[in-house]
Amino acid sequence: MSLSEFEIIRRYFAESGLYFDKPGVEIGIGDDAAVLKIPSNKLLVISMDVLVESVHFPKSADASLVANRALAVNLSDLAAMAADPFCFTLGLVLPDADEHWLQGFSEGLLGLAQEFNCPLVGGDTTRGPLSITIQVQGLCEQDGIVRRDSAKPGDKIFVSGYLGDGAIAIKSLGLNSHLGDGFNLEQAKLTESCREYFENAYYKPEPRIALARRCASLVSSGIDVSDGLFGDLGHIVAASGVGALLQTQQFPYSACANSCMSEQNRLQAALFGGDDYELCFSVPPQQCAAFVREAARTDTMVTCIGEIIEGSSIKCLDASGLPMSFDVDSYAHFYGED
């Protein structure tokens, strides 16, 4: 690398604004390890995501967008647990010291780091094929964690935001979709503004921290939708020992999804697509009104899309209330694809 490793760390990480003072961060970038002070009444919540070039983002992708996405998907995992972001660390493998790329990358992290008061406190920088590993640390009250294993029959199922945009964005960006040949955008209807909308949906998912923090005490379980609703709700269903009934007609779709995609493809995107980074909660019936009210206070759209039932599987109903069946296996992700 033309720039030394130390110079990269200093310029783009230590002195870029990403490492800022925060109570509890006793030592950040610069010593052999970061030192954090965790309040005695809080739990430390940790999550990590690894993003590899050409696997998780395209080779030519804009550095700033990739950085934003890398941090956003990690923050989404904290949101899914209802934890408050504390700080993050970064493992960066670089083929070379491309200063333009590093500048964009550093700037792409900065927006979210500041928005969520989540400084970069350490990491490792080394040479090799481009990959980005982020570990986020969050804090949560002892009884405030939202888990996957506590949904109960009768609970309503809610999702935040829109479903399917992540998978539709993959098509809009011209990337390979695991949903196969039958999964298509109506190119003629893909306006420039929808193209932009989908690019944002993919690279700039909104971590639903505020919603999760505000509603944690009102929900019985939760998860972030990163692999498609069917699979992710499936984790709640399996962990909680329950079933789920989904009213597919209630699924929330964005205006661009509605205009650019057939109903059947939209449903496929929502159930089996992935990359939405919305939250899915089960909410006891007596808490639903409060949940909807509190969600509105965080300016987050939430939609009731079904109900937890007895059983062990997810059933989907169409507009006429008839059961739908899917060839679920054909949409299964292969290890390493996401």
CA 267 – CA 279 distance, rounded (Å) = 17
* 125 touching ligand ADP, by CB under 6 A: yes
* 31 touching Mg ion, by CB under 5 A: no
**Minimal distance in Å, beta carbon 150 to Mg ion?**
39
* 185 touching ligand ADP, by CB under 6 A: no
**Minimal distance in Å, beta carbon 132 to ligand ADP?**
9
* 17 touching ligand ADP, by CB under 6 A: no
Pairing of strands 323-324, 314-317: antiparallel
- Which member of 26, 31, 318, 337 binds ligand ADP (CB under 6 A)? 31
* 329 touching ligand ADP, by CB under 6 A: no
Q: In what order do the strands lie in the sheet with 84-94?
A: 42-52, 131-141, 84-94, 120-127
* 149 touching ligand ADP, by CB under 6 A: no
* 327 touching ligand ADP, by CB under 6 A: no
* 92 touching ligand ADP, by CB under 6 A: yes
Closer residue to ligand ADP in complex, CB, 48/238? 48
**Minimal distance in Å, beta carbon 36 to Mg ion?**
18
- Which member of 15, 124, 196, 337 binds Mg ion (CB under 5 A)? 124
**Minimal distance in Å, beta carbon 205 to ligand ADP?**
22
User: Tell me, what amino acid is at 209?
Assistant: I
Residue 269 backbone dihedrals phi, psi, to 5 degrees: -60, -45
What is each CA distance from 33 to 28, 36, 87, 124, 297, in whole angstroms? 7, 10, 14, 10, 39
* 122 touching ligand ADP, by CB under 6 A: yes
* 13 touching ligand ADP, by CB under 6 A: yes
169 makes contact, choosing from ligand ADP, Mg ion, none, with CB < 5 to 8 Å by partner type, with none
* 32 touching ligand ADP, by CB under 6 A: yes
* 134 touching ligand ADP, by CB under 6 A: no
Stretch binding Mg ion (CB under 5 A), from 122-130, 148-156, 164-172, 289-297: 122-130
**Minimal distance in Å, beta carbon 54 to ligand ADP?**
21
Q: Are 254 and 266 in contact (CB under 8 A)?
A: no
* 87 touching ligand ADP, by CB under 6 A: no
CA 141 – CA 297 distance, rounded (Å) = 21
Pairing of strands 314-317, 243-247: parallel
Buried b (16+ CB within 10 A) or exposed e, 109-134: bbebbeebebbbbbbebeeeebbbbb
Angle value at C-alpha 255, between 250 and 258, nearest 5 degrees? 65
Nearest of 149, 126, 123, 145 to residue 136 by alpha carbon: 123
CA 77 – CA 83 distance, rounded (Å) = 9
Closer residue to ligand ADP in complex, CB, 9/212? 9
**Minimal distance in Å, beta carbon 130 to ligand ADP?**
13
Write out the E strands in 108-208. 120-127, 131-141, 156-160
Q: Are 112 and 207 in contact (CB under 8 A)?
A: yes
**Minimal distance in Å, beta carbon 37 to ligand ADP?**
17
Q: Which residues bind ligand ADP (CB under 6 A)?
A: 9, 13, 29-32, 90, 92, 120, 122-125
Q: Which residues bind Mg ion (CB under 5 A)?
A: 124
